[in-house]
């Protein structure tokens, strides 16, 4: 494949996946601006590896893995570069949740440990099979199931309202 063809394939892939990657990043970090930065980082790293990754047909898994690693790396930093001062924007209306419910869900997701949050998002937001989540996170399938179950249990507790109790 010639360079121009590779670059065209990369641009097509990045354009098609950008919104999905942005939603994943937002689900992980809870801030649209940080999500944009994380997606940009992931797409730059993907561009560097594109010739190798595109030959293997593993583009989706590779870019999600890069994105998840970037989120985890950022969360490990003790000092943040910016302090968010505005409220978070609403998710698209197609999510079926009201603005208050979305805010509660994002806040609850932020309280989960990074691995549980990643497992829940990959399994239930993207609908990936357990084996694929395990491969992307570099953990066993049993650990994916455990993280997912614990994460969902924690979310239920965090999201339970007095009316439902």
List of the chain residues with pLDDT < 50: 78-79, 88-94, 164-165
User: How many Å apart are CA 29 and CA 6, to the nearest integer?
Assistant: 31
> Is the distance from CB of 49 to CB of 69 less than 8 angstroms?
no
Q: What is the pLDDT of residue 78?
A: 42
Token duo for residue 11: 């641009």
Cβ neighbours of residue 145 under 8 Å, at least 6 residues apart? 130
**What is the total count of domains within the chain?**
2
User: How many Å apart are CA 101 and CA 86, to the nearest integer?
Assistant: 18
User: pTM of the full predicted structure?
Assistant: 0.60
Question: Do residues 68 and 142 share a domain?
Answer: no
Question: Do residues 67 and 121 share a domain?
Answer: no
Looking up residue 121, the CATH number of its domain turns out to be 1.10.10.10
Question: Do residues 60 and 102 share a domain?
Answer: no
Question: Do residues 7 and 57 share a domain?
Answer: yes
Question: Do residues 116 and 156 share a domain?
Answer: yes
Question: What region does 127 belong to: left with phi over 0, alpha with psi -120 to 50, or beta?
Answer: left
Q: What is the pLDDT of residue 87?
A: 57
Question: Do residues 39 and 74 share a domain?
Answer: yes
Question: Do residues 104 and 149 share a domain?
Answer: yes
Question: Do residues 84 and 105 share a domain?
Answer: no
Q: What is the pLDDT of residue 9?
A: 93
What does DSSP assign to residue 97? -
Q: Mark which of 29, 56, 89 sits at the end of a domain.
A: 89
Instruction: State how far the alpha carbon of 103 is from the alpha carbons of 27, 99, 132, 150, in Å.
Output: 11, 6, 28, 21
Q: Mark which of 69, 89, 109 sits at the end of a domain.
A: 89
The residue range of the domain holding 149 is 97-165
Question: Do residues 105 and 157 share a domain?
Answer: yes
Question: Do residues 105 and 44 share a domain?
Answer: no
Q: What is the pLDDT of residue 86?
A: 58
Q: What is the pLDDT of residue 44?
A: 93
Question: Do residues 79 and 2 share a domain?
Answer: yes
Looking up residue 71, the CATH number of its domain turns out to be 1.10.1740
Q: What is the pLDDT of residue 84?
A: 55
Q: Mark which of 36, 70, 89 sits at the end of a domain.
A: 89
């Amino acid at each position: 494949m010639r360079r121009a063809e590779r670059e065209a394939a990369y641009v097509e892939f990045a354009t098609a996946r950008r919104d999905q990657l942005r939603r994943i990043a937002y689900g992980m970090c809870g801030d649209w601006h940080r999500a944009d930065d994380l997606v940009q980082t992931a797409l730059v790293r993907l561009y560097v590896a594109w010739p190798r990754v595109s030959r293997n047909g593993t583009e989706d898994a590779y870019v999600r893995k890069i994105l998840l690693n970037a989120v985890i790396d950022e969360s490990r930093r003790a000092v943040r570069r910016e302090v968010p001062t505005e409220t978070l924007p609403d998710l698209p209306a197609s999510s079926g949740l009201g603005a208050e419910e979305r805010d509660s869900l994002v806040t609850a997701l932020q309280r989960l440990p990074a691995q549980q949050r990643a497992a829940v998002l990959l399994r239930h937001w993207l609908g990936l099979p357990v084996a694929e989540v395990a491969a992307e996170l570099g953990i066993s399938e049993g650990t994916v199931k455990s993280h997912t179950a614990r994460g969902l249990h924690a979310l239920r507790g965090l999201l339970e309202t007095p009316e439902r109790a």
